Amino acid sequence: MGGDNPKHKYRLGGVWIESSPEEKDVGVLIDDKLSINRQCVLAAQKANRILGCIKRSVASRSRKETPT
C-alpha cells in the first residue's frame, strides 16, 4: 500500500499471487494510492439505483390537497 511500496511479488505454495489495484477492508474500498474515491462512487450508484426503484414504484407523484 502507498506510494513508496516496492511492489514485491509473493507466492503461495508454487502459485504466484497477483497484485490487486484495490482492496476492501472493514467494508471500505481503498486503492493503491490510499484513496476512497471508488467507494464514494459505488455508494452514490447504489443510492441512485434505490431512488430509481422508489421512483418507478410510485404510481402518481401529484400532491392531493386535503380540505381544512
pLDDT tens over the chain, length 68 residues: 555 666 777 888 888 888 777 777 777 777 777 778 888 888 899 999 999 998 888 876 666 666 66
Predicted local distance difference test score (pLDDT) of residue 48: 95
Predicted local distance difference test score (pLDDT) of residue 34: 73
Q: How far apart are CA 3 and CA 5, in angstroms?
A: 6
Does the pTM surpass 0.85? The reply is no
CA angle 28, 34, 29 (to 5 degrees): 20
